[in-house]
Amino acid sequence: MSASLWLALAVSMAALIALCLGDPKRRRAAGRRGHQSPSTRRYLMLAAALPGAMLALSGDAAAFLAWLGAAAVSGWLITLTCAGRPRA
């Protein structure tokens, strides 16, 4: 796999982790204060999607499709990790 794919995936995952950790509903449910502003969340969403757009515009269809699948799976895994254990 190309280095550009790994770099794009790392940037997207970092943005997804930041979105997950700053989720206002999740923080409120956990009793933590503070939240990310809506504009910060929009910029993080853009940072998560921009690497895929760069791969698509570069013409490397295989890298774009690999990024698309890996970003989706990593997004689900990050969400499951941030969710923690359900309360009894």
Query: How many residues are there in the chain?
Result: 88
Non-local (6+) Cβ contacts of 9 within 8 A are 51, 67, 70, 71, 74
Can you give the pLDDT at residue 14? 95
Can you give the pLDDT at residue 40? 87
Can you give the pLDDT at residue 1? 63
Residue 65 has pLDDT above 90, yes or no: yes
How is the chain split into domains, by residue range? Answer: 3-83
- Give me the sign of the Cα torsion angle 55, 58, 63, 64: positive
Give me the mean pLDDT over the 59-81 stretch.
93
Structure tokens at 56: 């698509």
Closest CA to 8 of 57, 52, 74, 68: 52
Residue 58 has pLDDT above 60, yes or no: yes
Give me the mean pLDDT over the 45-70 stretch.
94
pTM for this entry: 0.82
